[in-house]
Amino acid sequence: MEATKMLQVATYLFGLTALGGILMGWIRLARGTNPPSWLAMAHGFLAAAGVTMLAYAVFALEASGTALLSLLLFLAGSLGGIVLNLFYHLHGKPLPKAIVAAHAVISIVAFVLLYMAAFPG
């Protein structure tokens, strides 16, 4: 499989991940409660699948430098997601809005870079 196709599939996975993230952000910010665990788990699993495909495209198929930068940013953003899950969500503590926002902003920038790499021109 060529790198561009793999990047496109990763883009679709991250698009689904983003939909879950938007819903979780709305639940946290508008309703003032944490999202349900099943939604957080689905969000994390989709993100992990996207990162795996992106990493394969970057390292095995020699995708562009933009794709590499996207991967690095997604990994940084995933650290925020891991912190939110392990230190707050699992303990029933309200998710800190600052970490939620940082996680979202980093992931949005990573998604835009991935989109640029996956759909050139």
Per-residue three-class SS string for the chain: CCHHHHHHHHHHHHHHHHHHHHHHHHHHHHHCCCCCHHHHHHHHHHHHHHHHHHHHHHHCCCCCHHHHHHHHHHHHHHHHHHHHHHHHHHHCCCCCHHHHHHHHHHHHHHHHHHHHHHCCC
What integer best gives the mean pLDDT of the chain? 96
Give pLDDT tens digits for 54-101.
999 999 999 999 999 999 999 999 999 999 999 999 999 999 999 999
Give me the pLDDT at residue 9, please: 97
Give me the pLDDT at residue 121, please: 79
Give me the pLDDT at residue 46, please: 97
- Does residue 38 register a pLDDT over 90? yes
Rounded to two decimals, the pTM is: 0.94
Q: If you average pLDDT over residues 9-19, what whole number do you get?
A: 98
Percentage of the chain surpassing pLDDT 90?
A: 98
| Sequence spans of domains, the chain | 3-118
